[in-house]
A and B are shown apart, each in its own frame.
Chain A
Amino acid sequence: MSRYSIFSLARNALSYHENWGRAWRSPAPSREYDVVIVGAGGHGLATAYYLAREHNAGRIAVLEKGWLGGGNTGRNTTIVRSNYLWDEAALLYEKSLKLWEGLSQDLNYNVMFSQRGVMNLGHNLQDLRDIYRRCSANRLNGIDAEFLTPEDIKRKVPIMDTSPHTRYPVLGASFQPRGGVARHDAVAWGFARAADRLGVDIIQNCEVTGILREAGRVKGVQTSRGTILAPKVGVVVAGHCGVLAEMAGFRLPVESHPLQAFVSEPIKPVLHTVIMSNAVHGYVSQSDKGELVIGAGIDSYTGYGQRGSFNTIEGNVAAIVALFPMFSRVRMMRQWGGIVDTCPDACPIISKTPVEGLYFNCGWGTGGFKATPGSGWVFAHTIARDEPHALNAAFTIDRFHTGALIDEHGAAGVAH
């Protein structure tokens, strides 16, 4: 497999781009691996990539029941930021953001990471107090954060309605200039290609139907393509983590909900940053193609259906139109839903489990995309060393019994 470069582009141009090689192999599963990762979304592929690159973990397979990147990796609104309140979460997401900054070079694949800034709006006095506090906490952790007045906001985003006469007036915002968006499909493809180059087997259309255990240790997995043995199994399956945990005989403090998003028809560039608002409940950015990418909160009921209810979309649209009256005439083009695995404290679980050799990475809820490289980084460490990395030591399943929760509802509850 050749490296992508200006030279490979020129060489392939000579043959009308008809002879590009496959980006990754499609191998049949072996009978045995050293590590099996379940779930070929961004997080699973990143885990496999860092296992191979940083930890020399031997023979690695990534099993995927559908096609790679077909779940939440391809169903989110692609926002990347690290402005979380608490040290544990902030440092984890900041590690991820640092990896994002070099990711296209690392993977030799353009993930179109665009640091166009992320703005979190405040609409009442308590919002502003929380924003001041979060900005200060971010700065103490070495994360860029600025406070913007309504005048600053109007200067940056002229199309936003910042007049004081709206139902929920915009009173200020936090701004993280290093935040932004990336191309979600490219992230899955880039990690898949880079992991494949390091010898990782990515096996699609291979559904895990059981987890083999013996005397409290994991032995491998049963799949729709036969039994695959492995002394270590890492599960990164987002919405279906509860189903996999049940196969392994334990429960998780996670509930799966539909989360919807939609994009508009392409329009000329009008919005050059990411806007999020917890209070009026919506977030929006404009893709490089010109589409407005819009999302909001989860549907309240639990669900595995990859779709949600229309009244949730209606509320979301109302919020966006209140902030940007000119968007009221924009037509929506596509709408979709993903199944997000929400934790009671809005923070993930990246942890060993009651079964030895079995590791779970789940509970990212509505905001896992931004964490893709960092999640893979710490999960690979956890699997390879059989102990957590310093950055994910606090994100155990045990915290729901010890009470050491990391409450990020303020920074994470709605806006992703």
Chain B
Amino acid sequence: MLKIKCPWCGERDQSEFSYGGEAHIVRPAEPDELGDEQWGDYLFFRTNTKGLHREQWVHSGGCRRWFNAVRDTVSYRFHGVYRHGEEGPGKDEPGSPS
């Protein structure tokens, strides 16, 4: 089982957490302006990164707060966690938000 470091509660077992998918996907500011192509991209298309991946987790069996993490999708190793609104580790590393 993975150990995940909640930014508020510290390190806990993975079974306390739920996965929330890719991070930094921003809801379109002008939904009415969007065509089918852009809506499809927003709803269904993901980077599916092999390597360092920025993603969301929620401490559902604990403080119930959301946070972001950088995780290697091959080794599953966590490279850091950060709260929403924070910049996060390794801004210039691969997998950093574009």
Which A residues form the contact surface with B (CB < 8 A)? 240, 242-243, 251-256, 300-305, 309-311, 344, 400-403
Assess the A400–B44 pair: CB atoms within 8 A.
Answer: yes
Known: A255-B46, A401-B39, A401-B40. 6 other contacts (CB 8 A): A256-B48, A256-B73, A302-B53, A402-B36, A402-B40, A403-B40
Picked from A242, A311, A401, the residue with its CB within 8 Å of the CB of B48 is A242
Assess the B48–A254 pair: CB atoms within 8 A.
Answer: yes
Interface majority SS on B: helix, strand, loop or mixed? mixed
Tell which of B14-22, B24-32, B86-94 binds the partner: B14-22
Assess the B2–A309 pair: CB atoms within 8 A.
Answer: yes
Assess the B55–A255 pair: CB atoms within 8 A.
Answer: no
Which B residues form the contact surface with A (CB < 8 A)? 1-2, 13-15, 18-19, 36-37, 39-41, 43-50, 53, 55, 71, 73-76
Assess the B76–A303 pair: CB atoms within 8 A.
Answer: yes
Assess the B45–A253 pair: CB atoms within 8 A.
Answer: yes
B residues near A300, Cβ cutoff 8 Å: 18-19
- Residue with the greatest number of chain A CB neighbours at <10 A, chosen from B15, B18, B39, B48: B48
> Known contacts A252-B48, A311-B15; is A401 also within 8 Å of B36 by CB?
yes
Picked from A240, A301, A310, the residue with its CB within 8 Å of the CB of B55 is A301
Assess the B76–A305 pair: CB atoms within 8 A.
Answer: yes
Report Cα–Cα, A344/B14, bound state, in Å. Answer: 24
A residues near B36, Cβ cutoff 8 Å: 401-403
Assess the A303–B44 pair: CB atoms within 8 A.
Answer: no
Picked from B18, B44, B45, B73, the residue with its CB within 8 Å of the CB of A302 is B73
Picked from B13, B45, B75, the residue with its CB within 8 Å of the CB of A252 is B45
A residues near B37, Cβ cutoff 8 Å: 401
